[in-house]
Amino acid sequence: MRVSPDTTSPAVPIIIDCDPGHDDMVAIMTAFAADDLDLRGITTVAGNQTGEKTFLNARRILSLIGAHDIPLARGCDVPLVRPLRVAEDIHGDSGLDGADLPAPRERVSPLHAVDLIADLVSSSTEPITLVPTGPLTNIALFLRRYPELIDRIASVVLMGGAVAESNVTPAAEFNIYVDPEAADIVFRSGLSLTMVGLDATNKAMLDPDDIARLTASDGQVSCIVGKLLAFFAGTYEHVFGIAGAPLHDALAVAVAAAPDIVTTRDLHVAIETKGDHTVGRTVADVYGVTGQTPNASVALDVDVDRFRTLMFDVFSQLDTICR
Ligand code: RIB
Ligand code: CA
């Protein structure tokens, strides 16, 4: 299956840096199932849960979908400066509550995530797109540790931030809030940056009927995904009063293959790293009042019907692969 309707476009080489996490799981599934994405590797970071738990969850997800050969490495367990803040209220104690998952994949890289990214980028014949879907700790450290590889990065398509939304505080989105210093490094890097934030991802929702349809499926992957997303939707209902499961991270992966699935504006985005009430805010200069050159293509809306169809195509493809 393809994310993009353009059948002439070559597969986009990507590395996902994630903190699974229910929506990170769907991001990994999307990248693995899509023929127009070339998933070169996965790295994990602490965020939704501890570094130990997000790494274990990634190993379990790769076992579930039969992704035995995708390189996987564990990254940072703590943000650059601040103590770790997890999202147990959203993703549960394991970080992926809601269903029994298969035994974790044993084969993992001995490298640290930052070094696996460097290894994959430096050995690639073409520039690679980084798709971070958790706090940006690993990505910031990669940029600091390997500045000579920056020109081997095609772009960064990240899930994070927001122009007019928030979740973890009234001012901030979780991935940016957990490590705002790392986000500041990434947004000042000069790399081609697409910010897939809550303005778009909160609309990239599977509704309760979609989730019930998955849970009732005969497909092994669809059924497990349905149970996991039922848990995720339950916590979203409890915390935010929202009915459904917003697949924030899966949208970022979709954008890497098909940028036109979202509507974007080029804006200057600064990261607030101080403010008692505003730390972690992605401060988007919507009216250009600062006169600063835009440093990000910011997603403001999404083709929801196209996204939902894509999600069911992904799960159907994995049901076929994992029969
Ligand atoms: O704010 C949503 C983001 O925070 C998603 O990436 C979710 O997985 C959590 O990491
Ligand atoms: Ca995430």
pTM of the model: 0.98
Assess whether the C-beta atom of 22 lies below 6 angstroms from ligand 1: no
Cα separation of 259 and 203, whole Å?
Answer: 16
Cα separation of 104 and 61, whole Å?
Answer: 8
Crossing angle, helix 208-215 and helix 220-240, to 10 degrees?
150
- Please check whether residue 213 is in contact with residue 254, taking contact to mean a CB–CB distance below 8 angstroms: no
Distance (angstroms) between ligand 2 centre and the Cα of 182 equals 15
Collapsing DSSP to helix, strand or coil, 168 comes out as: coil
| The one-letter amino acid at 106 | E
151-166 pLDDT per residue, tens: 999 999 999 999 999 9
As annotated, the active-site residues are 248
300: its two tokens: 């403001």
Assess whether the C-beta atom of 199 lies below 6 angstroms from ligand 1: no
Atom of ligand 1 nearest to the CA of 168: 1
Cα separation of 101 and 280, whole Å?
Answer: 33
Q: Cα-atom radius of gyration of the chain, to the nearest Å?
A: 18
Average confidence score pLDDT of the chain: 97
Count of Cβ atoms closer than 10 Å to residue 148 Cβ? 9
- Please check whether residue 177 is in contact with residue 282, taking contact to mean a CB–CB distance below 8 angstroms: no
Domain parsing of the chain, residue ranges: 12-321
Cα separation of 138 and 136, whole Å?
Answer: 6
70: left (phi over 0), alpha (psi -120 to 50) or beta: beta
Assess whether the C-beta atom of 21 lies below 6 angstroms from ligand 1: yes
229: its two tokens: 């997303």
For Cα atoms 250, 264, 48, give the angle at the middle one, nearest 5 degrees.
35
User: pLDDT at position 52, please?
Assistant: 98
User: pLDDT at position 103, please?
Assistant: 95
43-84 pLDDT per residue, tens: 999 999 999 999 999 999 999 999 999 999 999 999 999 999
User: Residue 322's pLDDT band (boundaries 50, 70, 90)?
Assistant: confident
**Residue whose CA is at the smallest distance from ligand 1 atom 1:** 174
User: pLDDT at position 242, please?
Assistant: 93
Cα separation of 220 and 191, whole Å?
Answer: 39
Distance (angstroms) between ligand 2 centre and the Cα of 48 equals 7
Which residues have CB under 8 Å from 234's CB, separation 6+?
Answer: none
245-246 vs 205-206, strand pairing mode: antiparallel
Collapsing DSSP to helix, strand or coil, 305 comes out as: helix
Closest listed residue to residue 183, CA positions, set 291, 47, 58, 74: 47
Classified by CATH at the fold level, domain 12-321 comes out as Inosine-uridine Nucleoside N-ribohydrolase; Chain A (3.90.245)
- Please check whether residue 132 is in contact with residue 156, taking contact to mean a CB–CB distance below 8 angstroms: yes
Q: Quick one: which ligand is closest to 175's CA?
A: 1
Assess whether the C-beta atom of 24 lies below 6 angstroms from ligand 1: yes
Assess whether the C-beta atom of 175 lies below 6 angstroms from ligand 1: yes
Closest listed residue to residue 57, CA positions, set 200, 224, 257, 207: 224
